Amino acid sequence: MHPVHPAAIAAAGVFAHVLMFRAASAAQSAEPSGGERPNIILVLCDNLGYGDIEPFGCRHHRTPALNRMAREGRRFTQFCVTAGVCTPSRASIMTGCYAQRVGMHANPRDGLVLRPVSPYGLHPSEVTIAEALKERGYVTSIIGKWHLGDQLEFLPTRQGFDEYLGIPYSDDMTDDVGARLGDNLDGTRWPPLPLMRNEEVIEAPVDRDELTRRYSQAAVDFIERHAQRPFFLFLSHAMPGSTARPFAGEAFRGKSRNGPWGDAVEELDWSAGQILDTLVAAGLAQRTLVVWTSDNGAPMSEDANGIERGSNRPLFGRGYTTAEGGFRVPMIAWWPGTVPAGTTCEELTTTLDLLPTFAGLAGIPVEQPSALAGTRLTWRDSHLSVDGYDVRPLLFGERGARSPYRAFYYYYGDQLQAVRSGPWKLFVPLKRFSRHPHFRAGAGDSPLLLNVAENPGSTVNLAERHPDVVRSLMTLADEARRELGDAGVRGTGQRKPGQIADPTPRTLTRPAAATERGTDNPVRPTRPDGQECPSCEMGSPRARPIGQYPCESRHQTNSHTNCRRPFFGTVVSVC
């Protein structure tokens, strides 16, 4: 575990949201029957659009498992991410903070998203969902895409995850692409696309056609292995992804009505069905929350009416931008007996809310001081500010529950482009911008006010009719600029990303990985006499290497003993 970033130990205005390890108010203390800590599964697709699945209006992809999930769960139709691209969006998911706060919105080497062999990554002192839940006794795993740093210091195993299987960045960042880039972005150093287990590359290049199947099977295995204790599983799919032609397994390739994109989406639907079926078969459905969503909107084809690279209909605009179609994504929550079946939430919620909501479900009491200031986490005697809210009342469908957001911000890199409050979204006037979904060069001098609840296609500018709303939102925009910065001007609440001096490629270091034949499961550790170590569940690396072996030390939670696998973690006693 990591000490809290010093700059995080303060609350500030509209952004000061508080989680407290002490008695919670009655309104924020709802827990499942019996007081059990629920299992939590977060399923994240890559670049999947609002209009790509049937529960959100799609008619060209078949998604029966997600239809079932929506029938048995709750759709969130105003659910937003914090960025139109991968790295900053995922930073917010993990930390509950805007990427601008944690320094993951852009950097001078990579631009808006991290590339292979980057010296940058999520700062090890930032507190992630996995670390918060581990405090409450959860076993944690990420399967799939990480994209918050590929150096050892920034990998999931250093950020609270007990287990990791996946690719450390986007599936389009291959050595072939790097070779074409040459010296640009250090392309000549990009390695064959690596599949990693914990901190070791086990396969390179990985077969991308098999990723969804392999990730799904690994997720099922994780659920079955940890059925007797609370777990957090982050299933972070690579698909549909960023390539012009997404990948899919043989059973799905060429089977959809929308080419490779449709094939990938329909395999993702199959994967969701596998997860739900496994939970039901294991008797875990009544005590497991599953959240299914996407990291940003679909990139779409050059023809805005095309569906070959995804659809954000009926929303305006494409992924990679601050358009409504770039930030608003489908979200379905499923928890039989707790989340009301067949219902829809139309209140604004965001990926910033995942950490505080999951923490509340795990028994970390939540305090929301006022409507204008919501969440701060008491973390090892320090107070950690986050930007999201505990939205359990909305998750549980409580009567009269409303969005806690006074303001929500749309950044493109370091530039604030829009602010939302209630149904109103204001694109602020801009003289300069590198990319904008609505303004053209030299024509961004006037405000653009949209009612995105009533007009999701963003076709009518209401600024002249509602000057009072424009003034109010401009005031909120000024608050964001002071706190989170804007276009080269640093905000008072911004922190630095992690950075190292000499990054190295993640490459295959040995010809064969230590796996059970035909699976992605690691071989269980053994004692020096060759017998399986009974105290090790996985033998997976923990946060910080200390140069010890489990036969010489004991972990404070997993009690590794008599095992010759290199040990990573905190020693609390000596054998």
Q: What are the catalytic residues?
A: 86, 147
Q: Where are the beta strands (DSSP E) in 8-131?
A: 39-46, 74-76, 79-80, 120-121
**How many whole angstroms separate alpha carbon 273 and alpha carbon 251?**
15
Chain center to CA of 419: 22
* Dihedral class, residue 13 (left if φ above 0, else alpha if ψ from -120 to 50, else beta): left
Q: Which residues contact 550 (CB under 8 A, 6 or more apart)?
A: 525, 533, 535, 536, 539, 560, 561, 562, 563, 564, 565, 567
Residue 166: both structure tokens together? 């996946």
Alpha helix segments (H runs only) across 59-98: 64-72, 86-95
Query: SS in 3 state form for 122-191?
Result: CCCCCCCHHHHHHCCCCEEEEEECCCCCCCHHHCHHHCCCCEEEECCCCCCCCHHHHHHHCCHHHHHHCC
Residue 546: both structure tokens together? 């200390």
> b/e for 434-451, b at 16 or more Cβ within 10 A?
eebbbbeeeebeebbbbb
Cis preceding linkage at 191, omega within 30: no
CA 233, 92, 452 angle in degrees (round to 5)?
Answer: 110
Largest CA distance in the chain: 79
Chain center to CA of 6: 24
How crowded is residue 316: how many other Cβ atoms within 10 Å of its Cβ?
A: 22
